[in-house]
Amino acid sequence: MKKIMVVCGNGLGSSFIMEMNVNKALTQMGKTAEVDHTDLTSAKSVQADIFLGAADIVGQLDDGTRTIVTLENMMSIPEITSKLESLV
């Protein structure tokens, strides 16, 4: 099972909302994954298959080895769905 880590600056409100939206998107796609949320600093030491978040935050994790998904609108389930459907 894939692990998706949702990342925001502080790992609190916005990443939790994104985590819920990722779970909704996965349900709509009929797919499953382990989804969790964290702050940017902690994310640097976390193992996950996919890191997802706003471009200005999650882009800081791009070291060439991680799968990074950037969102323009973290509230948009259609955007989350379109960006995850080929990865999960």
Q: How does pLDDT run across 3-32, given as a tens digit for each residue?
A: 999 998 886 788 889 999 999 999 999 999
Percent of the chain with pLDDT over 70: 99
CB 33 within 8 A of CB 88: yes
* pLDDT over 70 at 64, yes or no: yes
Q: What is the mean pLDDT of the chain?
A: 92
CB 59 within 8 A of CB 1: no
Give the predicted TM-score (pTM) of the model: 0.91
Helix, strand, coil share of the chain (percent; to 5):
40, 25, 35
Domains in the chain, CATH or no CATH each: 3-84 (3.40.50.2300)
State mean pLDDT over 54-78. 91
